[in-house]
Amino acid sequence: MNNYMKESRLLHGGDYNPDQWLDYPEILAKDLEMMGQAHVNTVSVGIFAWSALEPREGEFHFEWLDKIMDDVHRMGGNVILATPSGARPAWLSQKYPEVLRTNAKREKMLHGGRHNHCFSSPVYREKVAIINRKLAERYGQHPALLMWHISNEYGGDCHCEYCQENFRTWLKAKYGSLEALNKAWWGPFWSHSFSDWSQVASPSPLGESAVHGLNLDWKRFVTDQTIDFYRHEIKDIRRLTPDVPVTTNFMADTMDLVPFYSLDYEKFAKEVDVVSWDCYPAWHNDWETTADLASKVGFIDDLYRSLKGKSFLIMESTPSGVNWHPVNKTKRPGMHLLSAMQHIAHGSDSNLYFQWRKSRGSSEKFHGAVVDHDNSTDNRVFQEVAQVGKLMEKIATVKGANKQAKVAILYDWDNNWALDDAQGFAQATKRYPQTCQAHYRYFWDRDIPVDVVTPNYDLSQYDLVVAPMLYLLTETNMQHLADFVKGGGRLVSTYLTGIVNESDLTYINGWPATLQDLFGVKVKETDVYYPRDHNQVVMADTSYSVKDYAALLEVLDAEVVARYGEDFYAGEAAVTKKTTGNGTAYFVGARTDNDFLVDFYQEVTAGLNLMPPLVVAGDPEVSVQMRTGSKGDFTFVMNFSEMTKTITLAREQVDLLTGKTVPTQLELRPYQVCVFQRKV
């Protein structure tokens, strides 16, 4: 059993950069003392420490890291040890300029910043292999080593000659012949057929990027090439430390808080032992409610948990504000605990921070940290962090417990890329991830557990699958959805579905026959609205407003659930339902407001037992999530509002966080969270 399996605590701590403080032994000594006070049990070390580890080529300094590893072990803590490839020393860029990235305009980048290396460069790979091997050899058996943190927040792409060559090799493997590639990419359009492999190059703004098949394949290649680099990074690590789990920290896209755009995490998740991610919601902003934002966090937690179908880690979060939002607001009292508990409620086994101690210099010197420039434990942020650490100890038995859901919402990276690239519809209103989040909202508001999975996933375990806007839908996945309905499932699909195949080529003969058969309708046209255009759908005498998109449907053998209220298609079907055996397929032709989704999903979910948690708050702003594991059920009740809320419990319960019995009329203060356990 490895240290990670043996560890019975939830992980609390985070990015620790002692390499910035080597001239301050008194600070380093104080760190350990303060970590104890903050209930920190885990630190992530060495993420950007390459210049401290190898200040000159081939000259290695591990003594400082030896001491940190030993010190952390002595305090009973764990180290998540990073490979330092996220940023490199200047000597490396200076001596081997090929390691520097080339941007899409074919401009060679200069040394500076971070996360800007070429994933193909043989020299970079060689240098990374050396330092990674040395780390694995030196610390592989160290008792403090918990897990490997490979690089940091992989992202971006490189357009250098090495990468172009690798792209061509990737394409050759995929298509076999240039003829096949030209067919898949619709080559004759604007004379974009290639007659020699050497003509094929990555998309560039200088070349307009009009070939959508190329754009899509480039994005897929970037994911594969990043994974290839990651595999290279872990080669010796796996060989030398086969039992130590490996992760790399995933991201989300902010400010809107949607899943990370540019890497296909479905593929990447297969390569890691544990999914971990970095989450920085802009709490207390002035454009959405706390519950609005919390539901988006919940969506991403549920997606990243579902990638491996097991608990995950929050690798980074901030104890207060960040430094890179347009406005870096600090968390109000109580929000830090609530936010940490929300991740745990959705399946996280940690709450880790960026960062332990605020740096004195450079761009992150004002980023929130556990230890501020005052170097004191005597301030609100430190106290709240310590409180979170203490409370995490009280609910440690939740570690490893999973969530169970009967509802799945589908999310697909390929689809997001293809739809984003499509020139048509309305660029500003496509909003695919946000639409998935809007549908998720119905379930989050009602405390119905949801998995967020990709269309390739095994759907048979679900009662209801919600698949908004699958513009790119392969024939295999169409069949997959049809099989789900045939098996008795309920399926919801929407406008902008089933338009292109995996090559971003539209289906011949219009809307695919498999979908016509499945939904009992045919999409004839898709109307696109200006922001001030309007329409309604009318369902059971109630009108709901329509915005952005309206599909015009020909009804084949479906029942009409709602009809359009206006325009030249007034009275025509807008929402339909087709029953096949025990299964039902709904097609929502229009983008509506939330009122419609509420009434619609009430009908869709009627008669299903969607396994709500043991407590149902009955208040959208009070979120209830449940994890189930070998130690029983853990129910998290969280008030995502600035008001006191009263909810009714079926019986008195003990709140694990306070150890006190709460009455059946439970009053929750703003941002308060309670955790109840039902033992098995």
Give the interface with Zn ion as residue ranges (CB under 5 A): 118, 120, 158, 160, 162-163
Give the DSSP letter string of 613-631.
-S-----TTEEEEEEEETT
Shortest Å, Cβ 625 to ligand GLA: 24
Distance in angstroms (rounded) separating the CA atoms of residues 375 and 360: 11
Residue 270: Cβ-neighbour burial (10 angstroms; 0-12, 13-18, 19+): exposed
Shortest Å, Cβ 353 to ligand GLA: 10
Residue closest to 163 by CA, chosen among 132, 203, 131? 203
- Binds 465: which of ligand GLA, Zn ion, none (CB < 5-8 Å by kind): none
Tell me if 19 contacts ligand GLA by CB under 6 A.
Answer: no
- Binds 152: which of ligand GLA, Zn ion, none (CB < 5-8 Å by kind): ligand GLA
Q: Is 4 helix (H, G, I), strand (E, B) or coil?
A: helix
Residue closest to 647 by CA, chosen among 604, 676, 627, 610? 676
- Binds 466: which of ligand GLA, Zn ion, none (CB < 5-8 Å by kind): none
Residue whose pair of structure tokens reads 């305090």 in the numeric block? 75
- Binds 354: which of Zn ion, ligand GLA, none (CB < 5-8 Å by kind): ligand GLA
Shortest Å, Cβ 49 to ligand GLA: 12
Q: Which is nearer to ligand GLA, 285 or 289 (CB)?
A: 285
The sign of the torsion formed by the CA atoms of 259, 263, 266, 268 equals: negative
Phi, psi of 586 (to 5 degrees): -100, 140
CA distances from 427 to 422, 435, 548 (A): 8, 14, 11
Structure tokens at 251: 């991201």
Distance in angstroms (rounded) separating the CA atoms of residues 654 and 660: 5
Q: Which is nearer to ligand GLA, 280 or 596 (CB)?
A: 280
- Binds 118: which of Zn ion, ligand GLA, none (CB < 5-8 Å by kind): Zn ion
Q: Is 245 helix (H, G, I), strand (E, B) or coil?
A: coil
Q: Which is nearer to ligand GLA, 56 or 114 (CB)?
A: 114
Q: How many Cβ atoms sit within 10 Å of the Cβ of residue 255?
A: 12
Among residues 153, 266, 384, 621, which one is catalytic? 153
- Binds 280: which of Zn ion, ligand GLA, none (CB < 5-8 Å by kind): ligand GLA
Shortest Å, Cβ 279 to ligand GLA: 9
Shortest Å, Cβ 664 to ligand GLA: 42
Shortest Å, Cβ 280 to ligand GLA: 6
Structure tokens at 194: 């290639």
Q: Which is nearer to ligand GLA, 281 or 468 (CB)?
A: 281
Shortest Å, Cβ 290 to ligand GLA: 20
Provide the CB-side half-sphere exposure for 141 (13 A, CA).
Answer: 2
Q: How many Cβ atoms sit within 10 Å of the Cβ of residue 34?
A: 20
- Binds 117: which of ligand GLA, Zn ion, none (CB < 5-8 Å by kind): none
Convert residues 131-160 into a mask of x (bound to ligand GLA by CB under 6 A) and - (unbound): ---------------------xx-------
User: For residue 657, how far is the Cα from the chain centroid?
Assistant: 28
Among residues 266, 316, 384, 621, which one is catalytic? 316
Tell me if 352 contacts ligand GLA by CB under 6 A.
Answer: no
Shortest Å, Cβ 242 to ligand GLA: 27
Convert residues 484-523 into a mask of x (bound to ligand GLA by CB under 6 A) and - (unbound): ----------------------------------------
Q: Which is nearer to ligand GLA, 147 or 573 (CB)?
A: 147
Shortest Å, Cβ 519 to ligand GLA: 42
Shortest Å, Cβ 1 to ligand GLA: 29
Q: Which of residues 154, 167, 353, 354 is near ligand GLA by CB under 6 A? A: 354
Amino acid at 173: A
Residue 566: Cβ-neighbour burial (10 angstroms; 0-12, 13-18, 19+): middle
Q: Which is nearer to ligand GLA, 152 or 503 (CB)?
A: 152
Shortest Å, Cβ 287 to ligand GLA: 20
Q: Which is nearer to ligand GLA, 325 or 480 (CB)?
A: 325
Asked if 48 and 17 touch (Cβ cutoff 8 Å), the reply is yes
The sign of the torsion formed by the CA atoms of 50, 54, 55, 56 equals: negative
Binding residues for ligand GLA, how many (CB under 6 A)? 9
The sign of the torsion formed by the CA atoms of 117, 120, 121, 125 equals: positive
The alpha helices in 38-160, defined as continuous H runs, are 50-53, 63-74, 90-95, 122-139
Q: Which is nearer to ligand GLA, 278 or 412 (CB)?
A: 278
Distance in angstroms (rounded) separating the CA atoms of residues 91 and 534: 60
Convert residues 254-293 into a mask of x (bound to ligand GLA by CB under 6 A) and - (unbound): ------------------------x-x-------------
Residues within window 306-335 making contact with ligand GLA, judged by CB under 6 A:
316, 322
153 is catalytic: yes
Q: How many Cβ atoms sit within 10 Å of the Cβ of residue 177?
A: 10
Q: How many Cβ atoms sit within 10 Å of the Cβ of residue 162?
A: 18
Structure tokens at 119: 């994933």
Q: Which is nearer to Zn ion, 12 or 125 (CB)?
A: 125
Instruction: For 311-343, give the secondary structure using H, E and C.
Output: CEEEEECCCCCCCCCCCCCCCCCCHHHHHHHHH
Q: Which is nearer to ligand GLA, 364 or 517 (CB)?
A: 364
| H helix and E strand count, the chain | 18, 29
- Binds 158: which of Zn ion, ligand GLA, none (CB < 5-8 Å by kind): Zn ion
Shortest Cβ contact with ligand GLA: which residue? 278
Report the b/e string of 347-381 with b at 16+ CB within 10 A. bbbbbbbbbbbbbeeeebeebbbbbbeeeebeeeb
Q: Which is nearer to ligand GLA, 365 or 669 (CB)?
A: 365
Active-site residue list: 153, 316
Write out the residues near ligand GLA by the rule CB under 6 A: 152-153, 278, 280, 316, 322, 354, 364, 367
